[in-house]
């Protein structure tokens, strides 16, 4: 590690000094104060014993108010000793003028014996304390300065705590409103716009926007925005690529890490360099980037900007993260629904190696085919319903029993040239749950000619590349074979789909589908209620309740008019 150069060492030493600004035009009074401070190291030790022990305070003296104001604007002052009667300002007006520049810097007023009442008035107008010049001692001076600095520090802490509490409460209200927006919106774009609109309703935030990653370029593309400075998005570029300078800011880090990223001061943080000038022109001082993610799926990033530095603090981060989670869950639900009800869908066909090998081998040696038409996800297993063609019952059952990924098999019906079956497949649940969680569904699966193929259905407009990558990451030996667009409205449907898609709960739908494909409604029945309840891991009474509710909703849709 290299040694710090002399300039750095000097800067560090200066930062450790207690810096006092004395604004006094009387040379005698000024010399007396300076000598009192020069002769003691007690003050520096009392303010910070660890860092400043053994150092005397650094005193800067100005004789005019304007020069004192310039020194204050430099930001290198810890406390001000102020004479109210100066050549360019007199009385409490002097305090008022310096108060506009001092900010959090404490001010101790110096008065004459006859001006003690003025000193009391000065405290009422913001000064931390006052000293009568003819009565000042070294001990009194040290104690007064120390108490002024300590009181100012405590006031800063209390003010910051109030601001944090207000910000925390504000974010909680916003989170509640975002949750309400989730319930009342039907499309992703409407939801995202309402989130941005709600954030900028408060004067605390100037601008909000949501962007998503362009899969072809890793660029973060803005989708919706609200607030002051929508032209900001036209002037900047943001990437999710860590090797790109525009990907090293808060948005890129939030997307890559899945964690909220806070920029406390846009004016000074080097990570904001590519966008600093554009942000300063629009009076953005701090920002937060909130990832919108659900499990492994990254939907995008929400960016919020404030006109105040340090507007987003540590206690608020869990609330911000929760807002991102609520948005992501809502998008997942919306896209799942779109995948079910959209007439135009995208089909992705895959070949899968090293799954159900005995059945795959059977299809090659016996020249038979096995078709899975319906998959129902239970709590711990996947139920598959389908038919096996041109194969004997004994050969099919024997192959199934040798298949590690299948735990149970039932033959529901044996018709000419075909066996209708039910399979229980615990090992396949993770793959099909991944597909469902990310807005798709496994439409069918086929074992024929020595291959296992399955088709995944997505609503039009979904990122197919991302789905392909998710499936390939979930299991080894997956090959993407084809992609095609299909109009689902051309298919023959039995009964109103809206009942299944809009009115039944997931458990009611699973019970109804399992009962239907297991032959519960056939005569004679292919499965009893007890068998179906066992498959779903529920009590027979619960199954009966789900079926009765589903039947009533279905008949209401058909006969209710």
CATH number of the domain at 17-155, out of 3.40.50.2300, 3.40.50.150, 3.30.499.10, 3.30.390.50? 3.40.50.2300
E-only strand ranges, 243-334: 261-263, 286-294, 297-306
Stretch (H or E) spanning 542: helix 540-559
Check residues 318 and 488 and name the one with the higher pLDDT. Answer: 318
Angle at 487 between CA 481 and CA 491, to 5 degrees: 105
> What is the pLDDT of the chain when averaged over all its residues?
81
Arithmetic mean of pLDDT, 516-532:
81
Pairing relationship of beta strands 418-425 and 220-227 according to DSSP bridges: unpaired
**Confidence check: pLDDT of 10 > 70:** no
Q: Which residues neighbour 387 within 8 Å (Cβ) at sequence distance 6 or greater?
A: 370, 371, 373, 418, 419, 420, 421
pLDDT at 3 (0 to 100): 39
- The DSSP secondary-structure symbol of 354 reads S
pLDDT of residue 498: 58
What pLDDT is stored for residue 263 in this prediction? 93
Residue 426 has pLDDT above 60, yes or no: yes
Give the whole-angstrom CA distance, residue 123 versus residue 444: 80
Q: Specify the domain boundaries for CATH 3.40.50.2300 within the chain.
A: 17-155
Q: Which CATH class is domain 185-339?
A: alpha beta
Which range among 191-200, 215-224, 237-246 shows the weakest confidence by mean pLDDT? 215-224
344 has which bridge partners? 487
Q: Is the pLDDT of residue 411 over 80?
A: yes
Q: What integer is the mean pLDDT of 534-546? A: 83
* Tokens read off for 66: 């304007």
Mean pLDDT over 387-411 rounds to 91
At 129 the pLDDT is 87
pTM here is 0.49
Backbone angles phi, psi at 409, to 5 degrees: -140, 140
Enter the tokens of residue 342.
């959209």
Residue 417 pLDDT: 83
CA pseudo-torsion sign 174, 177, 181, 182: positive
Q: Which residues contact 404 (CB under 8 A, 6 or more apart)?
A: 427
pLDDT at 208 over 60: yes
Half-sphere CA count of 318, side-chain side, radius 13 A: 3
Least trusted range by pLDDT, from 95-104, 222-231, 233-242, 278-287: 95-104
Find residue 287's DSSP bridge partners.
Answer: 263, 305
DSSP 3-state of 231: coil
Intervals of CATH 3.30.450.40 along the chain:
185-339
| Residue-wise pLDDT tens digits, 59-85 | 888 889 888 888 888 877 889 998 888
147-188 pLDDT, tens digit per residue, is: 888 888 888 888 777 777 776 777 777 777 777 777 777 788
Average pLDDT over residues 88-111: 84
Coil, strand or helix at 442: strand
Tracing tokens 């019970």 back to the chain, one arrives at 511
* Segment of 96-105, 287-296, 338-347, 462-471 carrying the highest mean pLDDT: 287-296
The per-residue pLDDT for 305 is 94
Residues 6+ apart with CB under 8 A from 482: 347, 348, 349
Counting DSSP H helices and E strands in the chain, the numbers are 21, 18
Report the first-to-last Cα separation within the chain, whole angstroms: 82
Q: Report the relative pairing of strands 58-62 and 79-83 from DSSP bridges.
A: unpaired
Per the model's pLDDT, the better-predicted residue between 501 and 433 turns out to be: 433
| Among 514, 537, 536, 538, CA closest to 526 | 514
Q: pLDDT category, 113, cuts 50, 70, 90? A: low
Instruction: State the virtual CA torsion across 101, 106, 107, 108 in degrees, nearest 10.
Output: -170
What is the structure's pLDDT at 103? 76
Which residue shows structure tokens 């292919």?
A: 526
Tokens of 157: 């802490």
């Amino acid at each position: 590690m290299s040694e710090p150069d002399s300039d750095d060492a000097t800067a560090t030493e200066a930062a450790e000094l207690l810096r006092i600004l004395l604004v006094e035009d009387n040379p005698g009074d000024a010399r007396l104060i300076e000598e009192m401070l020069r002769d003691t190291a007690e003050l520096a030790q009392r303010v910070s014993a660890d860092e400043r022990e053994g150092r005397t305070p650094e005193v800067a003296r100005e004789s005019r108010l304007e020069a004192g104001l310039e020194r204050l604007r430099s930001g290198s002052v810890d406390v001000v000793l102020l004479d109210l009667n100066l050549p360019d300002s007199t009385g409490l007006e002097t305090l008022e003028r310096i108060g506009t520049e001092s900010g959090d810097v404490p001010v101790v007023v110096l008065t004459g014996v006859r001006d003690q009442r003025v000193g009391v008035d000065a405290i009422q107008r913001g000064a931390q304390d006052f000293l009568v010049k003819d009565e000042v001692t070294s001990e009194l001076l040290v104690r007064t300065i120390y108490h002024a600095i300590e009181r100012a520090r405590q006031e800063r802490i209390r003010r910051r705590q109030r601001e944090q509490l207000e910000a925390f409460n504000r974010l909680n209200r916003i989170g509640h409103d975002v949750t309400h927006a989730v319930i009342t919106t039907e499309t992703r774009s409407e939801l995202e716009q309402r989130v941005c609109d709600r954030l900028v309703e408060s004067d605390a935030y100037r601008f909000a926007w949501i962007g998503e990653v362009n899969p072809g370029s890793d660029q973060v593309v803005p989708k919706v925005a609200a607030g002051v400075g929508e032209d900001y998005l036209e002037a900047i570029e943001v990437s999710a690529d860590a090797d790109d300078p525009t990907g090293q800011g808060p948005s890129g880090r939030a997307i890559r890490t899945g964690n909220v990223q806070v920029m406390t001061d846009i004016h000074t943080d080097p990570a904001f360099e590519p966008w600093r000038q554009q942000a300063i022109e629009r009076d953005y001082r701090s920002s937060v980037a909130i990832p919108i993610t659900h499990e492994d799926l990254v939907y995008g990033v929400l960016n919020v900007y404030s006109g105040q530095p340090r507007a987003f603090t540590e206690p608020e981060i869990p609330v911000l993260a929760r807002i991102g989670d609520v948005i992501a869950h809502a998008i997942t639900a919306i896209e799942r629904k779109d995948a079910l009800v959209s007439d135009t869908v995208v089909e992705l066909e895959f070949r899968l190696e090293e799954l159900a090998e005995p059945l795959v081998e059977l299809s090659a040696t016996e020249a038979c085919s096995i078709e899975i038409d319906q998959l129902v996800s239970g709590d711990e297993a996947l139920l598959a319903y389908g038919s096996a063609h041109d194969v004997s019952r004994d050969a099919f059952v024997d192959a199934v029993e040798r298949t590690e990924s299948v735990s149970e098999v039932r033959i529901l019906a044996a018709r000419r040239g075909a066996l209708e079956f039910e399979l229980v497949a615990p090992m396949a649940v993770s793959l099909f749950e991944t597909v469902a969680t990310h807005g798709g569904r496994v439409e069918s699966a086929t074992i024929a000619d020595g291959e296992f193929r399955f088709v995944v259905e997505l609503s039009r407009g979904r990122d197919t590349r991302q789905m392909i990558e998710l499936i390939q990451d979930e299991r080894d030996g997956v090959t993407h074979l084809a992609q095609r667009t299909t109009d689902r409205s051309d298919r023959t449907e039995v009964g109103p789909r809206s009942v299944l898609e809009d009115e039944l709960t997931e458990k009611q739908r699973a019970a109804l589908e399992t009962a239907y494909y297991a032959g519960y409604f056939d005569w004679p029945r292919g499965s009893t209620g007890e068998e179906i309840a066992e498959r779903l891991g529920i009590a027979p009474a619960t199954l009966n309740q789900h079926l009765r509710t589903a039947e009533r909703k279905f008949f209401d849709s058909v006969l209710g008019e």
